[in-house]
Amino acid sequence: MKIRANLHREFRIGSIDPRLYSAFLEHMGRAVYSGIYEPGHSEADEHGFRRDVLEMVRDLKIPAVRYPGGNFVSAYDWQDGIGPKEERPVRLDLAWRSKETNQVGINEFAIWAEKAGIDMMLAINLGTRGLQEAREFVEYVNHPGGTTWSDLRRSHGVEKPHNVRMWCLGNEMDGPWQTGQKPASEYGRLANQAAKAVKGMDKTLETIVCGSSNDQMPTYPEWERQVLEECYENVDYISLHKYFGNSSHDTLNYFGKIEETGRYIQAIGGVIDYVKAKKRAKNDVHICFDEWNVWYHIREQDMENVRKWDWPEAPALLEEDYNFEDALFVAGLINEFIRRSDRVKIACIAQLVNVIAPIRAEKGGPAWRQTIYYPYQFASLYGRGEALRVAVDGPTYDCRVADDVSFMDIAATYDNAAGTVSLFILNRHLTDTADLDMTLTGFAGARLIDHRVMQGHDLRAVNGPDRPDAVSPQPGSGLGVEDGAVKGTLAPLSYHLVRLDVS
């Protein structure tokens, strides 16, 4: 399979917001309890946080984490998670039919986020609560002192404000499964008032309004139009969510869903432009793709369990075992986010630990990196700077969800300060090796400094506590820079990180 491509220094898409590689942690399943937090574990620190998990999180260099939900937030009272732990109530979580002990709340999560080197993105309950909570929550979290809510925080031993800059205005408010579901116009008006309250505390705070829960909702994309017409001038981002699966075991159709996601982003970008023009607004609204991941391996069984179980505490839920095929899919999806980084400024893998997550941790046992950890890590570490367009000429295929899908998927970033170009290359062909010839225009003297590859695994191969590195990157070979071009061979079903010195 012959692949010709061209990378031009001046063909820039735009600057990549580092928050494109953010994550999500919800109070569900074992994401928090026996995920990031497990007092009594041999790896627990003085606050009860697992050091082994923290190390894996730090290695991802995640800019921000969205917290505490998710569906959980729509019936959550943040005040249940503050003050002395022994006085905190145990509540029923309506979203996942489980008990919430509230032993981890905003102040504990802030400690963990600081240890992990991560900024917090906090979600406000606009399901069962509303405008008053938004005002009080922001005051408790961000105000220095001298007021009722800020002084309450200080009385809880937190003298300095948390200074959270990003605030989500509810979660999936279009969904019939959501506690407090609202029609678009009603939610849009509430979100507008909540956004004004948040920005009334500090006009530099960023607000994120709910878009459609996914692009298959019957109200999509009319929901986005109605919501934005109510609140456009007071919000900075609109959120998108989408989960992916391959229950039919059709690998090429699975990969085609990345093209479908590109259409989703493009459509909402058009809605944003329409509302901006209609309102004669001066501000820009970007996309926050704050829930995305593969979710299908045990989804049906989990949903059956949720319906039947009797309010357990931190039950095993959505603990997907990700395989090599999923790693290739995640690599391609992140490539799409890079290509759409003019629109998508924030994106959050959902979730971070145990629950549909790149990191797994056994209660009382070891932690390990899942297959999808590695493409996520490569993009977060090296996909910074500016996104560049890559012109690719090669064979394509048609599938159920998209036509003319390229077998060769390439995203590129240019870090001017570091003098490096990073290429994220995916050969999606099931059987054919690719002969790549990529011309480098404007990068005279480029030289290869790093090449790592994931290849040669059975598509169903997974990592686990007994084989934590079964599917992991290895040093690459067969690619190099010759006559101003990246040339070489790429095995079928392979993912490559290629870094070039262009200083």
Which residues are part of the catalytic machinery?
172, 291
Q: Supply 463's token pair.
A: 């990592």
DSSP secondary structure letters along 322-360? -BHHHHHHHHHHHHHHHHTTTTEEEEEEE-SBSSS-SEE
Q: What number of helices (H) and strands (E) belong to the chain?
A: 10, 24
Strands 206-210 and 396-397: unpaired
Q: What is the DSSP letter of 321?
A: -
Strand extents, DSSP E, 96-180: 98-100, 119-124, 166-169
Give yes or no for a contact between 25 and 65, defined as CB atoms under 8 angstroms apart. yes
- The amino acid at 244: F
C-alpha distances out from residue 172 to 168, 169, 176, Å: 11, 10, 9
Number of C-beta neighbours around residue 487 at 10 A:
16
Number of C-beta neighbours around residue 355 at 10 A:
28
Tell which residue, 450, 436, 416, 451, has the closest CA to residue 482.
Answer: 436
User: How far apart are alpha carbons 298 and 306 in whole angstroms?
Assistant: 12
Strands 447-454 and 494-501: antiparallel
DSSP secondary structure letters along 396-412? EE--SS-SSEESEEEEE
C-alpha distances out from residue 287 to 70, 138, 157, Å: 17, 23, 36
Describe the chain by its helix, strand, coil percentages, rounded to 5.
30, 30, 40
Number of C-beta neighbours around residue 321 at 10 A:
14
Distance of CA 369 to the CA centre of its chain: 17
Kindly calculate the radius of gyration of the chain based on its CA atoms and give it in whole angstroms: 23
